[in-house]
Amino acid sequence: METGQRRNLAIFYCQNVPESKEHDRQALEKRYGKSIRLFPIPCSGRLDYIHLLKALEEFADAVYVITCPLGTCRYLEGNKRAVKRVQRTRSVIEDIGLEKERLDIIIGSSKEPKTLASLCEELMERASSLPPSPVHRKKV
């Protein structure tokens, strides 16, 4: 298995994450190239499980959802809904034989907020320990 290498990530993030404006997103995509796709969303609660599964099917070795801190969602409980959806989707991918570590949620901290860039760096490091997705193996 090829571990320790850069993997392809899909990162869905709440637009309330610090330093997550359009120019920040573009700089990160330029820095990481095709290894990262960033999807800003007005609220993590709007994210549906189909978006997560589609990213895993189409291109991503791992998918992450970054929410605003619990209790600070401007749509009241959006981040709580996101947590439930990610948990359910993890169960689904585990049932079909993928590692549940290919999907995770990062809940922002109001006491020690992290920028989108620092979170992306951490997630790239975390995903490098995963093997390439078996979904994307080329047929011989």
79-101 tens-digit pLDDT? 899 999 999 999 999 999 999 99
For residue range 43-72, list pLDDT tens digits in order.
Answer: 998 999 999 999 999 999 999 999 988 888
Confidence tier at 18 by pLDDT (50, 70, 90): confident
DSSP bridge partners of 126? none
What domains appear along the chain, each with residue ranges and CATH number?
Answer: 9-135 (3.40.50)
